[in-house]
A and B are shown apart, each in its own frame.
Chain A
Amino acid sequence: MSFPWAQEYKPQGAVSKWVDERLPLPRLVYNAVGAGYPVPRNLNYFWNFGVLAGVALVIQIVTGIVLAMHYYASVDGAFNSVEHIMRDVNSGWFVRYAHMNGASFFFIVVYIHIFRGLFYGSYKAPREMIWLLGVTIFLLMMATAFMGYVLPWGQMSFWGAQVITGFFSAIPLVGEPLRQLLLGGFAPDQAALNRFFSLHYLLPFVIAGVIILHIWALHIPGSSNPTGVSVKGEQDTVPFHPYYTAKDGFGLGIFLIFFVAVTFFAPNMLGHPDNYIPANPLSTPAHIVPEWYFLPFYAILKAFTVDFGIPFTGIIIIPAKLMGVLAMFGSILLLFFLPWLDTSPVRSGHYRPLFRKFFWYGLIPSLVILTYCGGKPPYTQWVVLSQLAAAYYFAHFLIILPIVSRIERPLPLPNSITEAVTGKPLPAAA
């Protein structure tokens, strides 16, 4: 790819040369995450989270493969096999807690990564494809996490599966047969558990594949940066290695400190106690709630309380339940259209006074409220709050952003990254 001043890989020694002529894998790595990839020099710590997400996926795959060696996908044995891992397998408690909390940290890191993209306009031309692939990864992660949560076959596993697959039954006509086809039965049972296990093992590798495309697409235009100004010359960039490998190493240390603190000292903080009760199809938990990272979407689902129909006739066109399901999926799918909804040519939120206000005082609070309300029982105050926040969420992306990008007068941009960093204009000859 990329900039003409990118350093070229020069194999040292006979073996390296021999390999480079036959399968230039070291060259690929050198150009992807080595000295051969020029990166803007002004990236802030928010740009650490892509690498951290990759690390989180590796943690999940490694711990997951070990867990699969001891796990038994059976409605009678799954719960006990997880406890067998916790009690009898050597360091099994560590592997299992790391996997369980690793999922949460994967989502924390990816959410920050997404918000970085939203604020700094990383989804805009010429980086739309990176964004589309990123949203795809996010969807795959959600599917993987949901199916993984079902595997221990606790109460929340079972009832979560019941609720989530129940979304499909909201589809008119084909809904219920579709749900039965997906589950392999009338309710989550052995058939569903087996296929969830199979898919839960498969999807992370699909994610890894899409991540390769995500990084490939990234290397065509190169990384974005906090000013949003495109790279103009060599003085604007540094080689990824050693500059950003060092910075990412430091970021990784901080990330792992948080991860280890939760995994070793509060491993059940982010989970739900009900999942330590074996699944019982005859006993519904008082409050069925998903894991924290699904709560905003769960709140959107529950926020739709009135049917859409023709007034005073009693004719219902879209029942509230179906509308909730459509809106929940829509709330993520709309991200696919974001590059064409936000038409402002200015990327970075730093130079967009109006956008920035809606981002910090609208979008972020509405998501915080939705996350909070998603975990609450359906009392009036929580329903009202989530209806308000969900209405804002849709309005933000579908109505406000397109209008803002038309009427906003952005602040003057720096002439170049180097000028923004050093405060000095570029020498004329450069």
Chain B
Amino acid sequence: MVRLVAFLVGLFFSGMLLLGLGDTVITAIKEPAVPSVEAEFHEETLPVKFAHDGPLGKYDRGQLQRGLKVYSEVCAACHSLKLVSFRDFAALGYSEDQVKALAKAWKTEVPSINPETGEPATRPAIPADKIPSPFANEVAARAANNNALPPDLSLITKARENGPAYVYSLLLGYRDQAGYKNEDGKELLKEFPEAATPAGLHFNPWFANLNIAMAAPIAADDQVTYDDGTKATKAQMAKDVSAFLTWAAEPKMENRKSAGWAALGFLLVFTVLAWMSYKTIWADKKH
């Protein structure tokens, strides 16, 4: 009985699936899928290497400090970094006094109240504060940005596939759409005339739908003046800020990797010992 019912259920499910298969194939032949503009023109991330890549990689402190400078002078005008506190910047190699000074000099102040009247007010940041957001709320952010919402950057390198390279590619990925061709030599506006970038958006083949609301934030060399004398090329700034945002998303990466090596070392010894005791105990037993 069980087998009879099973046989019928099996026939039904497998039959419906094969019917569906036929249907899928017929539909695909009758109405072949039209390749989308994203499928043809969205680009893979640019190749870029960081000091923190790989199981032995560590953050380059100088690069993180340069990246912080790019973030604070360029990105912070629109993008918040809500999950990071000023005190965390000690990990970038700043002294306690430098962190205090950084917090105090931050362009946006921290929302607060007037201690006398209770009226809303602002005060300079202290190391214990999170990085203050440039806009009071989402409505203000959208109102200032043509109804687009600049995402918080605290986790951006973990919230995108291949995040650090994605940020780097996106920052350098602004192109002139007129006459733009992909690697196969196909011209976008000839293949997809309806895909012209709408007004208020900016063409960037590294963005998921090719048109991003953010105007190119890194527009020219030397937009930022680095304190350590590094030449601030566009690629250098993009790379530094990507490294900084990788740190912001994963501040414990170095602890993680060093703990990982210690754990692996311990386990290697443990496993060898366990293997030897296994061999010893079973020495007289054929199995």
Answer yes or no: are A and B bound together in one complex. yes
Which A residues are closer than 8 A to B by beta carbons? 41-43, 80, 83, 86-87, 93-94, 97, 238, 242-243, 246-247, 249-250, 252-254, 256-257, 260-261, 263-265, 267-268, 273-274, 276-277, 286, 303-306, 308, 320, 323, 327, 330, 334, 337, 340-341, 343, 379-380, 383-384, 387-388, 390-392, 394-395, 397-399, 402, 421-422
Q: Judge whether B252 and A86 touch: CB under 8 Å.
A: yes
Q: Judge whether B264 and A394 touch: CB under 8 Å.
A: no
Which B residues are closer than 8 A to A by beta carbons? 2-3, 6-7, 9-11, 13-14, 16-21, 23-25, 27-28, 33, 55, 83, 88, 151, 154-155, 158-161, 163, 208, 249, 251-252, 255-257, 259-261, 263-264, 267-268, 270-271, 274-275, 277-278, 281-282, 285-287
Hey, which chain B residues are within 8 Å of A273, CB to CB?
Answer: 158-161, 163
Hey, which chain A residues are within 8 Å of B256, CB to CB?
Answer: 93-94, 97, 264, 267
Residue of B nearest to A403 (CB): B7
Q: Judge whether A250 and B14 touch: CB under 8 Å.
A: no
Q: Judge whether A330 and B287 touch: CB under 8 Å.
A: no
Hey, which chain A residues are within 8 Å of B160, CB to CB?
Answer: 273
Q: Judge whether B9 and A330 touch: CB under 8 Å.
A: yes
A238 and B158 alpha carbons, distance in the complex (Å): 50
Q: Judge whether B17 and A394 touch: CB under 8 Å.
A: yes
Q: Judge whether A380 and B33 touch: CB under 8 Å.
A: yes
Q: Judge whether A421 and B287 touch: CB under 8 Å.
A: yes
Q: Judge whether B286 and A422 touch: CB under 8 Å.
A: yes
Q: Which of A42, A274, A320 interacts with B159 by CB under 8 Å?
A: A274
User: With A304-B16, A379-B33, A421-B287 known to touch, is A397 a contact of B10 (CB < 8 Å)?
Assistant: yes
Q: Judge whether B9 and A250 touch: CB under 8 Å.
A: no
A340 and B249 alpha carbons, distance in the complex (Å): 52
Give, as a whole number of angstroms, the nearest-CB distance from A281 to chain B: 14
Residue of A nearest to B282 (CB): A243
Hey, which chain A residues are within 8 Å of B208, CB to CB?
Answer: 286
User: With A267-B256, A277-B159, A394-B17 known to touch, is A250 a contact of B3 (CB < 8 Å)?
Assistant: no
Residue of B nearest to A421 (CB): B286
Hey, which chain A residues are within 8 Å of B83, CB to CB?
Answer: 80, 83, 87
Hey, which chain B residues are within 8 Å of A249, CB to CB?
Answer: 274, 277-278
Hey, which chain B residues are within 8 Å of A277, CB to CB?
Answer: 151, 155, 159
Q: Judge whether A387 and B263 touch: CB under 8 Å.
A: no
A320 and B13 alpha carbons, distance in the complex (Å): 11
A388 and B278 alpha carbons, distance in the complex (Å): 45
Q: Judge whether A394 and B267 touch: CB under 8 Å.
A: no
Q: Which of A384, A399, A402 interacts with B14 by CB under 8 Å?
A: A399
Q: Which of A97, A257, A303 interacts with B267 by CB under 8 Å?
A: A257
User: With A303-B17, A306-B16, A395-B10 known to touch, is A264 a contact of B259 (CB < 8 Å)?
Assistant: yes
Query: Considering the complex of A and B, which 9 residue pairs feature the smallest CB-CB distances, nearest first?
Result: A264-B260, A398-B10, A253-B271, A276-B159, A391-B17, A249-B274, A387-B21, A305-B20, A250-B274
Hey, which chain A residues are within 8 Å of B20, CB to CB?
Answer: 303-306, 320, 387
Q: Which of A86, A257, A268, A388 interacts with B21 by CB under 8 Å?
A: A388
- Could you give 23 example pairs across A and B, Cβ below 8 Å? A87-B252, A97-B256, A238-B287, A246-B278, A247-B282, A250-B274, A250-B277, A252-B274, A253-B270, A254-B271, A257-B264, A257-B271, A264-B259, A265-B55, A303-B20, A304-B20, A305-B24, A337-B6, A341-B2, A380-B27, A384-B24, A391-B17, A394-B9
Residue of B nearest to A417 (CB): B287
User: With A383-B24, A399-B14 known to touch, is A268 a contact of B287 (CB < 8 Å)?
Assistant: no
Hey, which chain A residues are within 8 Å of B285, CB to CB?
Answer: 41, 238, 243
Q: Which of B88, B275, B287 interacts with A41 by CB under 8 Å?
A: B287
Hey, which chain B residues are within 8 Å of A80, CB to CB?
Answer: 83
Hey, which chain B residues are within 8 Å of A390, CB to CB?
Answer: 13, 17
A274 and B16 alpha carbons, distance in the complex (Å): 34
Give, as a whole number of angstroms, the nearest-CB distance from B126 to chain A: 17
Residue of A nearest to B6 (CB): A398
Q: Judge whether A264 and B263 touch: CB under 8 Å.
A: yes
Hey, which chain B residues are within 8 Å of A388, CB to CB?
Answer: 17, 21
A277 and B151 alpha carbons, distance in the complex (Å): 9
Hey, which chain A residues are within 8 Å of B28, CB to CB?
Answer: 380, 384
Residue of B nearest to A406 (CB): B3
Give, as a whole number of angstroms, the nearest-CB distance from B13 to chain A: 4
Q: Judge whether B252 and A260 touch: CB under 8 Å.
A: no
Residue of B nearest to A266 (CB): B55
A40 and B181 alpha carbons, distance in the complex (Å): 67
Residue of B nearest to A423 (CB): B286
Q: Judge whether A93 and B10 touch: CB under 8 Å.
A: no
Hey, which chain B residues are within 8 Å of A421, CB to CB?
Answer: 286-287
User: With A264-B259, A306-B16, A340-B2 known to touch, is A399 a contact of B271 (CB < 8 Å)?
Assistant: no
A86 and B25 alpha carbons, distance in the complex (Å): 47
Q: Judge whether A387 and B286 touch: CB under 8 Å.
A: no
Hey, which chain B residues are within 8 Å of A265, CB to CB?
Answer: 55, 257, 260
Q: Judge whether A260 and B264 touch: CB under 8 Å.
A: yes
Hey, which chain B residues are within 8 Å of A261, CB to CB?
Answer: 260, 264
Q: Judge whether A402 and B3 touch: CB under 8 Å.
A: yes
Hey, which chain B residues are within 8 Å of A243, CB to CB?
Answer: 281-282, 285
Additional 10 contacts, C-beta under 8 A, given A264-B257, A387-B24, A391-B13: A253-B274, A263-B260, A276-B159, A334-B9, A340-B2, A379-B33, A383-B24, A394-B14, A398-B9, A422-B286
Q: Which of A246, A276, A327, A343 interacts with B277 by CB under 8 Å?
A: A246
Which of A87, A268, A303, A341 has the largest number of chain B CB atoms within 10 A?
Answer: A87
A98 and B275 alpha carbons, distance in the complex (Å): 25
Q: Judge whether B271 and A323 touch: CB under 8 Å.
A: no
Hey, which chain B residues are within 8 Å of A274, CB to CB?
Answer: 159
Give, as a whole number of angstroms, the nearest-CB distance from A240 to chain B: 12
A63 and B110 alpha carbons, distance in the complex (Å): 36
